Amino acid sequence: MEVLLDRHENPGMQVNLQYAEEHLTDLVSAVDAGQEVEISRPDKPSLKLVVSRDYPVSHLDRKGMVGSGKGEIWYADDWDSPEVNDQIARLFNESKLFPDEPE
C-alpha cells in the first residue's frame, strides 16, 4: 500500500481497498482538499474517488461563484481612460519594491 499525502510532491494517493474501508472519512477529506485518491482492488480495476460535478448549485458556497458580487461592484466612469492607465503604469514602473532599502 502506498499513501502519498504531500500535494506539492504528488497530487494524489493510492491505497488498497482495506485501507479505504478503514479510513474513508480521511480519504473523502483528501478529495475535498483537491487530492486524487485511487483505490486498488485485487483482480479488479482500481477505483478513483472524485467530487461529483452534478452537485446542485444552490448548495454551493456562493462566495466563490461568478456573479456572486452582482450589485456590489461598480466601475468609475474613467476606469479605462488613458490617464488612469498611465497612472497605474507609473505606480508599477516607478515605485520602489522595498521603499526602505537604499538604491
What is the tens place of the pLDDT at every residue in 16-62? Answer: 999 999 999 999 888 888 888 999 999 889 999 888 776 655 555 55
Segment 82-99, tens digit of pLDDT: 999 999 888 888 877 766
User: Superfamily assignment of 12-49 in CATH?
Assistant: YefM-like domain (3.40.1620.10)
Q: pLDDT tens-digit profile of 53-68?
A: 766 555 555 555 666 6
Q: Please work out, in degrees rounded to the nearest 5, the angle formed at the alpha carbon of residue 23 by the alpha carbons of 38 and 58.
A: 75
For 13, other C-beta atoms within 10 Å of its C-beta total 23
How is the chain split into domains, by residue range?
12-49
This prediction has a pTM of: 0.43
